[in-house]
Amino acid sequence: MTEIIFDVREDEVDGGYTASALGVGIHTQGESLDELRANVKEAVDCYFEETMESPKVIRLHFVRDEVLAR
C-alpha cells in the first residue's frame, strides 16, 4: 500500500473533526485540524505494525455536507 485516504468531516454539532480511512478500519478525531493531522499519523503508525508495510502517503479528503432549508 503506497497511499491511504481518510474522509474528514467537521462535526457541526459538537465541533472538531472526525477522520475515517477508506477500506481500512482506522478512525480518529481531533478538536482542531492540527490535532486531527497528528492523530491521523499516530493512528496509521499504530495500525501498521513494524512487520507490515505502511503507506508512504496519507491523503485527507475533506467532505462537507450542506443542508438547504426550504
| Residue 53: all three cell numbers together | 508495510
> Is residue 41 in a domain?
yes
- Residue span of the structural domain in which 32 resides: 3-63
Residue 16 DSSP class: S
| Number of structural domains in the chain | 1
> Is residue 31 in a domain?
yes
pLDDT at 67: 81
pLDDT at 63: 92
> Is residue 46 in a domain?
yes
pLDDT at 17: 96
On the question of pLDDT at 1 being above 80, the answer is: no
**How many CA atoms does the CB half-sphere of 60 hold within 13 Å?**
20
pLDDT at 49: 81
pLDDT in tens, 12-67: 888 899 999 999 999 999 999 999 999 999 999 999 987 788 899 999 999 987 78
